[in-house]
């Protein structure tokens, strides 16, 4: 397993991702009915998404505080964020729900924000230093 000393960019990107996640989770859990009416998305769906975000947000905040981290942990975050974007688009394109204009905007804006976090975390990982003595394939460590 390759371990890295995270770059400042990676730490800040993970922390920002976690803090935005805290705000989003709180909104989804505490304002479910209001958001449901505002966005024309089912309240059960919004509340469920809030519940699902809790462990991810906790992991992001924990990981952002680590002095060293497994590269695989960062790839996991990037992969989960990419899955979030894909599922967001699926919600809009599948016809499962019929959100109003604000609902579409909400889903699209949060997906774009997550794409920005993916890019920042990827760049931050590329700038991170591999800890000597840990496995790092030549093609990855040369980044």
Q: Per-residue pLDDT tens for 78-136?
A: 999 999 999 999 999 999 999 999 999 999 999 999 999 999 999 999 999 998 876 65
pLDDT at 67 over 80: yes
- Answer yes or no: are the C-beta atoms of 73 and 124 closer than 8 Å: no
pLDDT band of 141, cuts 50, 70, 90: very low
- Answer yes or no: are the C-beta atoms of 128 and 10 closer than 8 Å: yes
Helices (H), 1-143: 8-30, 32-39, 43-64, 71-93, 101-127, 138-141
| 50-78 mean pLDDT | 97
pLDDT at 2 over 80: yes
Say what the pLDDT of residue 132 is: 82
Say what the pLDDT of residue 134 is: 66
The token duo for 69 is 């981290």
- Answer yes or no: are the C-beta atoms of 120 and 20 closer than 8 Å: no
| 13-37 mean pLDDT | 98
Say what the pLDDT of residue 142 is: 42
The token duo for 21 is 């996640």
Q: What is the DSSP letter of 98?
A: -
Q: What are phi and psi of 7, to 5 degrees?
A: -70, 160
pLDDT band of 143, cuts 50, 70, 90: very low
pLDDT band of 20, cuts 50, 70, 90: very high
């Amino acid at each position: 397993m390759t371990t890295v000393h995270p770059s400042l960019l990676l730490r800040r990107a993970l922390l920002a991702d976690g803090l935005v996640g805290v705000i989003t989770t709180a909104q989804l859990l505490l304002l479910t009915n209001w958001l449901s009416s505002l966005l024309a998305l089912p309240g059960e769906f919004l509340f469920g998404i809030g519940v699902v975000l809790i462990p991810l947000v906790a992991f992001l905040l924990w990981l952002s505080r680590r002095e060293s981290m497994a590269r695989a942990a960062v790839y996991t975050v990037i992969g989960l964020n990419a899955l979030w974007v894909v599922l967001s688009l699926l919600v809009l394109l599948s016809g499962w729900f019929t959100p109003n204009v604000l609902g579409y905007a909400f889903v699209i804006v949060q997906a774009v924000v997550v794409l920005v976090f993916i890019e920042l975390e990827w760049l931050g990982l590329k700038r991170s230093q591999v800890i000597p003595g840990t496995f790092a394939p030549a093609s990855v460590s040369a980044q």
